[in-house]
Amino acid sequence: MKITLGPVLFNWPVDKWRDFHFRMAGEADVDAVCLGEVVCAKRLPFIEPALPEVAERYMAAGKEVIFSTLALVMNKAERKALRAVAEMAPEALVEVNDISALAHIEDAPFMAGPFINTYNEAAMAFLARKGAVRACLPPELGDKAIATLTRAGRETGMETEVFAFGRMPLALSARCYHARVHNLSKDGCQFVCEKDADGMDLATLDGEAFLAVNGIQTMSHACMNLAGEVAALKDMGVGALRLSPHDCDMVQVAAVFRALADGAMGPDEAQAKLAGLDLPFPFANGYFHGKPGADWIGRLVDSAAPVKG
């Protein structure tokens, strides 16, 4: 079972973004990394100058580099940005997060990202016909659906990857929530999303923690944590686990999931180590168990992974 580092979904300053990837390239036990801007095209000019050096650093460390497309395309500039990444195939593996990218990928293998609605066997078969060799499944799928899609993938030669750690990407909008909160327009946002390294927490009118906002993106309040489910995923034949970067020790996160995937660490020890990250939001694994996504279901007392609300 492989470990994939997903793209950074947040608007980190370019120095922080570059230094994070340099450290992960040198120290993290991951097999592959996704690079590129997925959420907002306005962030692209900041990271683009650093992309070649970061990609080279990962390749020199023997890690597979995958280039991710935008997940929502609404104007000419965004279409151009998406096309520039898509046309990197077949020289590089491209992660498609908006289905329109397929118009620019001709007879080349690609990866379907978690923003593609891969919910059933027909979707898997369609992607395989288009050339997909791997699919990172949407995070809201339960164990039965994951098992079914993994079987379907094997029949068509596709590998499945499961979103195993990080705030779950739920939706994208044409409007920028971050800008609105600061009384700014989307066009004049002043990149205020940079203020929230892990997204901006939202609460209900009753003060209950609810969701998180990342620019135009809506995310879960809780952090997906499938450390307790890795053995089951391995038994299903899932090929890779995706770790979504956060402002914490992702080298440690990668080490924990690597040990789980290799059978060198039990789930209780893994949960204790992940709890030690002291993330400012709780863990959740409800979707996997067919429960509300924010639920935490596990053997440990919830103090190790508290669920707020």
Give 53-63 pLDDT, tens digit per residue.
Answer: 999 999 999 99
Phi-psi region of 157 (alpha: psi -120 to 50; beta: other; left: phi over 0): left
pLDDT tens for 22-61 read 999 999 999 999 999 999 999 999 999 999 999 999 999 9
222: helix, strand or coil: strand
| Count of other CB atoms within 10 angstroms of residue 4 | 27
What pLDDT, on the 0 to 100 scale, is given for residue 299? 59
pLDDT tens for 185-205 read 999 999 999 999 999 999 999
Confidence check: pLDDT of 83 > 70: yes
120 φ/ψ angles, rounded to the nearest 5 degrees: -150, 175
The pTM assigned to this predicted structure is: 0.94
| 184 class by beta-carbon count within 10 Å (0-12 exposed, 13-18 middle, 19+ buried) | middle
Could you tell me the pLDDT band of residue 307, with boundaries at 50, 70 and 90? Answer: very low
Q: What angle do CA 67, 71, 72 make, to 5 degrees?
A: 140
The mean pLDDT of 142-163, rounded to a whole number, is 97
Could you tell me the pLDDT band of residue 309, with boundaries at 50, 70 and 90? Answer: very low
Q: Are 21 and 59 in contact (CB under 8 A)?
A: no
Q: What is the mean pLDDT of the chain?
A: 94
Alpha-carbon distance values, 95 to 1, 7, 189, 243 (Å): 19, 10, 27, 15
E strand segments, the chain: 2-5, 32-35, 64-68, 93-96, 110-112, 132-137, 159-172, 200-203, 209-214, 217-225, 240-243, 283-284
Annotated domain spans of the chain: 2-169+219-304
What distance in Å separates the CA atoms of residue 171 and residue 77, rounded to the nearest whole number? 21
Higher pLDDT, 207 or 250: 250
Element (H, E) at 41: none
Phi-psi region of 105 (alpha: psi -120 to 50; beta: other; left: phi over 0): beta
What distance in Å separates the CA atoms of residue 44 and residue 42, rounded to the nearest whole number? 6
Both tokens of 145, joined, read 């659906």
What distance in Å separates the CA atoms of residue 48 and residue 36, rounded to the nearest whole number? 8
pLDDT tens for 269-300 read 999 999 999 899 999 999 999 999 999 997 54
What pLDDT, on the 0 to 100 scale, is given for residue 107? 86
pLDDT tens for 246-258 read 999 999 999 999 9
CATH topology of domain 2-169+219-304: TIM Barrel (3.20.20)
